[in-house]
Amino acid sequence: MESQKKYPRQFSFEFFPPKTDQGKAKLSDAVDELKVLEPRYVSVTFGAGGSTQQGTIETVRDLMGRGLDAAPHLSCIGATRESIRELLQGYVDMGVKRIVALRGDMPSGMREPGDFQYANELVEFIREETGDRFHLEVAAYPEFHPQAQSADDDLANFKRKCEAGANAAITQYFYNIDAYLRFVEDCQKRGLELPIVPGIMPIINFKQLARFSDACGAEIPRWLRWRLGSMGEDKEAIRAYGHDVNTELCRRLLEAGAPGLHFYTMNQAGPTTAIWKALGLS
């Protein structure tokens, strides 16, 4: 972890663009509560194949209007060079400073990948088009991306993506700290010099989390799956146990030298704020 200790800690919160008025009100309340924690930046997800593009832009504009450094996620699968160029110009005009650059997943029904196959091509394109205008974050997978041919391949692909011009990486969430520590060590051995910020997924709804984890290849360790599974529909018990597990994970990560934390807030302030307070970060 030596390579990570030199970076100043940065804390960030991730939101998704709400689809309904009720969702907008809920996000607005969450932002009010989380803003006082003074995150370095907040980010807004982008639906597969650009399905939430307008929602992402509007949410970023709203968050910037509230004085936050807001970073849109931008996925390139299914996109053309021209459509990405237009989007980038829009973000330049809005004064966006940071982008989370991703490949994304091909939505069902879409056949052609478009002009970009992998995130390294998007990073390269953004640098070609806009130079150093944006601070670029990319995705990292301590437990490896589910489509990778092997761990070594995934690390080589991650290295290619970083060397294309990424400034920092945010990891997929994980509950096994050794996966992150070893991933960082592997990156260090390969000469990678950038902050790799752990992504933290608060445990709110176990069934939803289990489904999502199976799809994205993030492991819920057996002991945790069994504990949470045995709590059935008792949401309070699940939240309380999840809070303890995540707080301990974050504490150990920061003690080990992680350069901050990126919280997948699910547009809810409560679970993230509780972890923040338990860590004594405020």
Which residues of the shown chain bind ligand FAD in the complex (CB under 6 A)?
A: 45-46, 48, 73, 75, 100, 102-105, 118-120, 139, 145, 147-148, 153-154, 157, 160-161, 170, 172, 199
The conformation of residue 16, written as its DSSP 8-state character, comes to -
Question: At its nearest, how many Å lie between ligand FAD and the CB of residue 104?
Answer: 4
For 32, residues 6+ apart whose C-beta sits below 8 A from its C-beta are: 269
Q: Cα 162–92–198 angle (5° rounding)?
A: 35
Is the Cβ of residue 106 or residue 237 nearer to ligand FAD in the bound state? 106
Q: CA-CA-CA-CA torsion for 210, 39, 96, 15, nearest 10 degrees?
A: 30
Question: At its nearest, how many Å lie between ligand FAD and the CB of residue 130?
Answer: 18
Is the Cβ of residue 201 or residue 224 nearer to ligand FAD in the bound state? 201
Question: At its nearest, how many Å lie between ligand FAD and the CB of residue 16?
Answer: 8
Question: At its nearest, how many Å lie between ligand FAD and the CB of residue 124?
Answer: 11
Burial class (CB in 10 A: 0-12, 13-18, 19+), 101: buried
Is the Cβ of residue 85 or residue 160 nearer to ligand FAD in the bound state? 160
Question: Which of 2, 14, 58, 86 does the annotation list as catalytic?
Answer: 14
Reply yes or no on whether 163 is catalytic.
Answer: no
Is the Cβ of residue 154 or residue 241 nearer to ligand FAD in the bound state? 154
DSSP codes, 33-102: HHHTT--SEEEE---GGGTTHHHHHHHHHHHHHTT--EEEEEE-TT--HHHHHHHHHHHHHHT--EEEEE
Q: How many CB atoms within 10 Å of residue 93?
A: 8
Active site residues per annotation: 14
